[in-house]
Amino acid sequence: MRLAKYLATAGVASRRASEDVVRTGRVTIGGQIVTDPARDVGTDDAVALDGKPVAAVHERVVYALNKPAGVVSTARDPQGRPTVVTLVPQTERLYPVGRLDIDTTGLILLTNEGDLAHRLTHPSFEVEKTYRAVVGGRPVRDPELDTLRGGVELDDGRTAPARVQRISADTIEITIHEGRKRQIKRMCEAVGHPVKRLERVGFGPLLLGDLPRGRWRRLTDAEVDALMRAASAAG
């Protein structure tokens, strides 16, 4: 494993930031200063940052899954329903990053890094999520879009301003950074448009794209770094 990746998996910083840490001469291997982030590191190498030992306990992995309807967004389900964790490789314990309702489809992330899952979902970090909603009722009008953009009064308080665009007469995209229960559905209902189908199409800088329903892919290091930056910038 390369040194920068080793530091990232140890939780020192993102991979890119770890490269900068190495270049400044703060890292040693076997007591010798190393300034090359691409230096290979073995399991027996003694790596230290500012003189303190650093150990990469495990390699951080993040999967993007296009969740089908009928699948529960938890690690396990007492009712025996299929869960998102069962749809991806289970070489180690995985955490769903947030939740989607059982009938909601689309992008959900899974990771073996609990701190990353926390940073991507906790409201204080304000990481954006984008949803595409097919709604009932009359065609969506501009005043209703403006209401959604400005904030909607719900039973648990007014929502924060959202980015909203009309895709067609009965389809809108909404980007929020909050994570209230059934928030998108309740927002749409509040302006007279009950949700018929809901799909998450974006999580921070990551887009669902053409990933087929029920399929997964492992994120690249660059994509994971982009997620970390999104959480750091918002928090």
What are the tens digits of pLDDT across the range 72-121?
Answer: 998 889 999 999 999 998 766 788 999 999 999 999 999 987 778 878 88
Q: Which residue in the list 45, 77, 101, 170 is annotated as catalytic? A: 101
Statement: residue 160 has pLDDT above 70: yes
Q: What are phi and psi of 8, to 5 degrees?
A: -65, -45
Q: Tokens at residue 13, please?
A: 């910083």
Do 113 and 85 belong to one domain?
A: yes
Quick check: is 45 catalytic?
no
pTM: predicted TM-score of the whole model, two decimal places: 0.76
- Domain housing 211: 62-124+206-234
In whole angstroms, what separates CA 13 from the centre of its chain? 17
Give how many domains the chain has, as a whole number: 3
Q: Secondary structure of the chain: what % helix, strand, coil (to 5)? A: 25, 30, 45
Are 104 and 211 part of one and the same domain?
Answer: yes
Pair 101, 152 in one domain: no
What is the CATH classification number for the domain harbouring 158?
Answer: 3.30.70.1560
- Tens digit of pLDDT for each residue in 15-64? 788 899 999 999 999 999 999 999 988 767 899 999 999 876 567 789 99
